[in-house]
Structure 1
C-alpha cells in the first residue's frame, strides 16, 4: 500500500478495544488532567505534520488552556502510534487545542497553524511522508469552520504570490469524528526530550501579507 493514499475502511487495521493512554494522565507542563473540562473554553483539532513540535507551539501560546496529541480522521479504533505509522489506520497526527476565547481568538490559533507548517505539501511535511502527516482542521463550531475557511482563502492568495501551490488542508466539523489520545510518551514529548526531533516546515509566508 502507498503510504500517501488514504486507506479504505475495509482495508483499515482492526484496532483495539481500549484506549492506548491510561487515565488519569497529567499534562507534564500545566499539571492538569488531560480529561479536565474548562468552563467557557473552545476546542479545535489541528493536524500539521509531526505532532511533537506542533503541540509545543500551542502549549506556549497565551490563552491556550490545554493541549493533547492524538490520532484523528481515520477508521481504526484506539490505534497505536506504530499502527498509525503504517498508513493503514487513516488517521492524522493531531493536536487538540483547548483555549479561552476571551484571551486568544480562534483566528490567532489558526494563524499559528497556517504559518508554522507548509499546507501545500499534501500527504507529507518535509521528509515525513504519509497520510498521518497531512494538513487538516477539525472544528467544534460553525464559527471556527467559517474562520478557518476564510483564513485558508487569505493564506492561499499569499502563498500563490510567494510561488507556492494550492493549499491541501482539509477543513471539516468534528461532529462524529473520534479523537484518540496518543500514548503517554507522545504527550508533551519535547518537555521530556528537549533535543528531540522537531522539524518546522513553515513557508515563511505570513497571513498579514494580504
Structure 2
C-alpha cells in the first residue's frame, strides 16, 4: 500500500465509478484469529458494531482484533458512492471510500470510548486525505457511528483530544464523523481480511502522534 497513490479530492456521486449490484468475490466464513463469523451483517444479541477509518486497513484491523472484548473484525470500504467496489477501484480515488475496519464488540467487556481511544492513539487524525506516506482519499480518518450514543461519545472525545494535539504542535482534527446509516460498508477482498496473519511481516502504517488521550481528572 505504500506505493499506492490516489486523488486527494472526493468525487461527486455523479463522478464516482458505477460499481456493481453484488459482491464480485467470495469471502471466508471464519475470522482467522478470533474464530468468529467473518461476515457479520447480523450481530448476536448483546454485541455492538463500531466502524473506523484510520489509514491502511491491514495494520488497523490487527490493532482491534487484539483488544479484549472484540468478538470479530473485518476490513472493507466505507463512506463512498460506488456500490461493491474492488480494491483496485478504491485505489483510483474515484469511489469515495476510505479503508475501514468494522469491529463487532461486547460493550460489557470493552466500551465504545475504549475503542475510540485506541482509534485516536494509533493514527494521526489531523492529516486529512492521507496517513503517513499513504496519500489519497482512501486513507482519510473517519468514524461512522451506529447509534446516537456512539456519536456523542465520538464528538466529545475528539473535542477533548484536540487541545492535547494542539499543545504538541499538531493541527486541527480532520476525522470525518458521519452516521453509518448514510454509508454502506462493503467487505474487502478475502486476501485483505486478517492480512497480517497471512503475511506476518507485511506492511503496517501506524502514523501515531504519540499523544495519549487525556485521562479523566
Q: Which band: TM-score by shorter chain? A: over 0.9
Gaps of 5+ in 2: 1-5
Residue deviations 1:127-184 (CA, integer Å, cap 9, x gap) = 1000000000001101110000011011101000111000000112111410000000
Matches within 5 A, 1:60-71: 60-71=66-77
Tell me the equivalent position of 2:12: 8
For 2:129 and 2:34, locate their aligned partners in 1 and report how far apart those are by CA, in whole Å.
Answer: 32
Gaps of 5+ in 1: none
Give how far 1:23 is off.
4.5
For 2:142 and 2:27, locate their aligned partners in 1 and report how far apart those are by CA, in whole Å.
Answer: 27
Instruction: Say which of 152, 155, 165 aligns to 1:149.
Output: 155
Instruction: Indicate yes or no: 2:42 matched with 1:45.
Output: no
Q: CA RMSD in A?
A: 1.3
Give how far 1:209 is off.
5.8
For 2:79 and 2:178, locate their aligned partners in 1 and report how far apart those are by CA, in whole Å.
Answer: 10
Give secondary structure in 2 for the equivalent of 1:175.
Answer: helix
Matches within 5 A, 1:65-84: 65-84=71-90
Tell me the equivalent position of 1:114: 120
Runs of 4+ off more than 3 Å? none
Q: TM-score, normalization: structure 1?
A: 0.96
Matches within 5 A, 1:163-202: 163-202=169-208
Give secondary structure in 2 for the equivalent of 1:107.
Answer: helix
Give how far 1:32 is off.
2.1
Q: How many equivalent pairs are there? A: 209
